[in-house]
Amino acid sequence: MRLIAPVVTLGIGCKNDMAADAIETAFTMMMRKAGCSEAAICGAASIDIKAGEPGILEFCRRHRLPLRTFSAAELAAVPGVFSGSDFVNKVTGVDNVCERSAVLASGGRLLAGKEAANGVTMALAIKEPRIYFREEA
């Protein structure tokens, strides 16, 4: 038996008006490269300026993933070492969206760092699962 706990958050960044199919392609590549099962993904995260991004919303709808978004200030306050970009900082006000949003939404640690492909960036963060067993009386 193989159990897959839904404890991984997908961080997403993308150019404006990115098609859901392009995000889907990046997701497939990310999951394959990270060796992560889609069943482990419990949600998606990004910056608040992407809260209404049609491609991200459609991607999340297809995968039944809740989308959490955060302000640039919230993302900038996330502790850790992230792969920053001057361009992303200029556009969004924070140096990295995908890694920081994944870590913040998961409450965990970075599992797979930023992967960029055709205007889409993705990262994975994991909340360490805790398994509890109860004794039956």
Q: What would the pLDDT profile of 7-22 be if each residue is shown by its tens digit?
A: 999 999 999 999 999 9
Which tokens sit at 130? Answer: 């805790």
Q: What is the pLDDT of residues 47-91, one digit of tens each?
A: 999 999 999 999 999 999 999 999 999 999 999 999 999 999 999
Q: CA-to-CA distance for 105 and 99, rounded, in angstroms?
A: 10
Q: Does residue 131 fall inside a structural domain?
A: no
Give the list of residues 6+ apart from residue 81 with CB closer than 8 angstroms, or none. Answer: none
Q: Is residue 104 part of a domain?
A: yes
Biggest CA–CA distance in the chain, Å, is: 60
98 found inside a domain: yes
> Domain of 74?
8-126
pLDDT at 137 over 70: no
Can you point out the beta strands (E) in 1-137?
Answer: 8-14, 41-47, 67-70, 109-117, 120-126
- How many domains are contained in the chain? 1
96: domain CATH number is 3.30.420.180
Determine, yes or no, domain membership for 91. yes
The verdict on residue 136 lying in a domain is no
Domain presence at residue 53: yes
- Assigned domain for 133 exists: no
Task: For residue 80, tell me if it sits in a domain.
Answer: yes
